[in-house]
Protein backbone atom coordinates (compact mmCIF):
# COMPACT_ATOMS: atom_id res chain seq x y z
CA UNK A 1 0.00 0.00 0.00
CA UNK A 2 2.80 2.40 0.83
CA UNK A 3 4.30 2.01 -2.64
CA UNK A 4 1.28 3.72 -4.25
CA UNK A 5 1.93 7.01 -2.49
CA UNK A 6 5.71 7.13 -2.86
CA UNK A 7 7.06 9.41 -5.58
CA UNK A 8 7.76 7.71 -8.85
CA UNK A 9 11.35 6.80 -9.64
CA UNK A 10 13.06 8.93 -12.27
CA UNK A 11 12.46 7.71 -15.80
CA UNK A 12 15.13 5.47 -17.22
CA UNK A 13 16.90 6.64 -20.34
CA UNK A 14 15.07 4.07 -22.50
CA UNK A 15 11.62 4.91 -21.13
CA UNK A 16 9.11 6.32 -23.58
CA UNK A 17 8.28 9.98 -22.97
CA UNK A 18 4.96 11.74 -23.46
CA UNK A 19 6.47 13.44 -26.53
CA UNK A 20 7.44 10.03 -27.96
CA UNK A 21 3.88 8.76 -27.57
CA UNK A 22 2.41 11.88 -29.17
CA UNK A 23 4.90 11.65 -32.04
CA UNK A 24 3.90 8.01 -32.66
CA UNK A 25 0.22 8.91 -32.57
CA UNK A 26 0.89 11.62 -35.15
CA UNK A 27 2.91 9.20 -37.25
CA UNK A 28 0.02 6.72 -37.25
CA UNK A 29 -2.49 9.40 -38.22
CA UNK A 30 -0.22 10.62 -41.01
CA UNK A 31 0.10 7.07 -42.34
CA UNK A 32 -3.69 6.80 -42.26
CA UNK A 33 -3.97 10.00 -44.29
CA UNK A 34 -5.53 11.94 -41.43
CA UNK A 35 -3.37 15.03 -41.76
CA UNK A 36 -5.31 17.28 -39.38
CA UNK A 37 -5.04 14.70 -36.62
CA UNK A 38 -1.35 14.11 -37.39
CA UNK A 39 -0.74 17.85 -37.19
CA UNK A 40 -2.52 18.00 -33.82
CA UNK A 41 -0.50 15.16 -32.27
CA UNK A 42 2.78 16.41 -33.72
CA UNK A 43 2.08 19.88 -32.40
CA UNK A 44 1.40 18.38 -28.97
CA UNK A 45 4.63 16.37 -29.22
CA UNK A 46 6.60 19.55 -29.90
CA UNK A 47 4.84 21.35 -27.05
CA UNK A 48 6.05 18.57 -24.74
CA UNK A 49 9.59 18.54 -26.22
CA UNK A 50 10.36 21.43 -28.57
CA UNK A 51 13.41 19.70 -30.06
CA UNK A 52 12.02 16.16 -30.37
CA UNK A 53 14.20 14.43 -32.98
CA UNK A 54 11.41 12.73 -34.91
CA UNK A 55 8.71 15.24 -34.00
CA UNK A 56 10.63 18.01 -35.78
CA UNK A 57 11.13 15.75 -38.77
CA UNK A 58 7.44 14.92 -38.88
CA UNK A 59 6.56 18.62 -38.60
CA UNK A 60 8.62 19.22 -41.75
CA UNK A 61 6.74 16.43 -43.54
CA UNK A 62 3.46 18.06 -42.53
CA UNK A 63 4.64 21.45 -43.79
CA UNK A 64 5.60 19.86 -47.09
CA UNK A 65 2.28 18.08 -47.35
CA UNK A 66 0.50 21.41 -46.76
CA UNK A 67 2.43 22.90 -49.70
CA UNK A 68 4.86 24.91 -47.58
CA UNK A 69 8.03 23.70 -49.30
CA UNK A 70 10.06 26.66 -48.08
CA UNK A 71 8.97 26.08 -44.47
CA UNK A 72 9.71 22.34 -44.77
CA UNK A 73 13.18 23.05 -46.15
CA UNK A 74 13.91 25.52 -43.35
CA UNK A 75 12.72 23.04 -40.73
CA UNK A 76 14.84 20.20 -42.11
CA UNK A 77 17.93 22.38 -42.48
CA UNK A 78 17.53 23.55 -38.88
CA UNK A 79 17.04 19.95 -37.77
CA UNK A 80 20.25 18.87 -39.51
CA UNK A 81 22.05 21.80 -37.90
CA UNK A 82 21.08 20.36 -34.54
CA UNK A 83 21.45 16.69 -35.51
CA UNK A 84 24.10 16.53 -38.26
CA UNK A 85 23.66 12.81 -38.92
CA UNK A 86 19.88 12.89 -39.54
CA UNK A 87 19.88 10.88 -42.77
CA UNK A 88 16.09 10.87 -43.16
CA UNK A 89 16.06 14.66 -43.02
CA UNK A 90 18.83 14.78 -45.63
CA UNK A 91 16.94 12.47 -47.99
CA UNK A 92 13.80 14.56 -47.65
CA UNK A 93 15.75 17.76 -48.24
CA UNK A 94 17.04 16.23 -51.44
CA UNK A 95 13.50 15.41 -52.52
CA UNK A 96 12.25 18.89 -51.67
CA UNK A 97 15.05 20.63 -53.53
CA UNK A 98 14.48 18.33 -56.49
CA UNK A 99 10.76 19.20 -56.44
CA UNK A 100 11.57 22.89 -56.88
CA UNK A 101 14.06 22.19 -59.65
CA UNK A 102 17.28 22.71 -57.70
CA UNK A 103 19.07 19.54 -58.81
CA UNK A 104 22.50 20.64 -57.61
CA UNK A 105 21.33 21.10 -54.01
CA UNK A 106 19.20 17.95 -54.22
CA UNK A 107 22.26 15.97 -55.28
CA UNK A 108 24.27 17.49 -52.41
CA UNK A 109 21.72 16.30 -49.85
CA UNK A 110 21.45 12.82 -51.37
CA UNK A 111 25.25 12.53 -51.18
CA UNK A 112 25.24 13.76 -47.58
CA UNK A 113 22.57 11.20 -46.68
CA UNK A 114 24.69 8.53 -48.33
CA UNK A 115 27.53 9.37 -45.91
CA UNK A 116 25.47 8.88 -42.74
CA UNK A 117 22.94 6.16 -43.59
CA UNK A 118 23.95 2.61 -42.77
CA UNK A 119 22.21 1.44 -45.97
CA UNK A 120 23.10 3.70 -48.88
CA UNK A 121 20.74 2.08 -51.35
CA UNK A 122 17.87 4.54 -50.91
CA UNK A 123 20.15 7.55 -51.43
CA UNK A 124 21.65 5.77 -54.44
CA UNK A 125 18.22 5.24 -56.00
CA UNK A 126 17.49 8.97 -55.71
CA UNK A 127 20.91 9.90 -57.09
CA UNK A 128 20.53 7.63 -60.12
CA UNK A 129 17.04 8.96 -60.80
CA UNK A 130 18.22 12.55 -60.41
CA UNK A 131 21.23 12.06 -62.67
CA UNK A 132 19.12 10.33 -65.29
CA UNK A 133 19.77 7.53 -67.73
CA UNK A 134 23.31 7.08 -68.87
CA UNK A 135 24.77 8.18 -65.54
CA UNK A 136 27.52 5.92 -64.18
CA UNK A 137 26.18 2.97 -62.27
CA UNK A 138 28.96 3.43 -59.72
CA UNK A 139 28.30 6.09 -57.08
CA UNK A 140 29.01 8.67 -55.90
Same domain assignment for residues 124 and 114: yes
Q: How far apart are CA 30 and CA 82, in angstroms?
A: 24
Please, are residues 11 and 20 in contact by the beta-carbon 8 Å criterion? no
Structural domain range at position 115: 69-133
In a domain, 123, yes or no: yes
- Please enumerate in sequence order all residues whose Cβ is within 8 A of that of 59, keeping only pairs 6 or more positions apart, or say none: 42, 43, 46, 75
In a domain, 87, yes or no: yes
Please report, for the domain that includes residue 122, its CATH number: 1.25.40.10
Which pTM value belongs to this model?
0.82
* pLDDT number for residue 111: 96
Same domain assignment for residues 74 and 129: yes
In a domain, 56, yes or no: yes
Q: How far apart are CA 2 and CA 76, in angstroms?
A: 48
* pLDDT number for residue 15: 75
Largest interatomic CA distance in the chain: 73
In a domain, 31, yes or no: yes
Q: Could you list the pLDDT tens digit for every one of the 140 residues in the chain?
A: 444 444 444 445 567 899 999 999 999 999 999 999 999 999 999 999 999 999 999 999 999 999 999 999 999 999 999 999 999 999 999 999 999 999 999 999 999 999 999 999 999 999 999 998 876 666 66
Same domain assignment for residues 84 and 58: no
For residue 35, report the phi and psi dihedrals to the nearest 5 degrees: -65, -40
Domain boundary (25, 43, 67) is at 67
Amino acid sequence: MRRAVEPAAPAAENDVSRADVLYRMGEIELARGRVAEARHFTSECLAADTEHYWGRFQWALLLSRAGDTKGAIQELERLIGRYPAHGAAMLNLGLLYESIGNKKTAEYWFLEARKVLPDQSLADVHLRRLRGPGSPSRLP
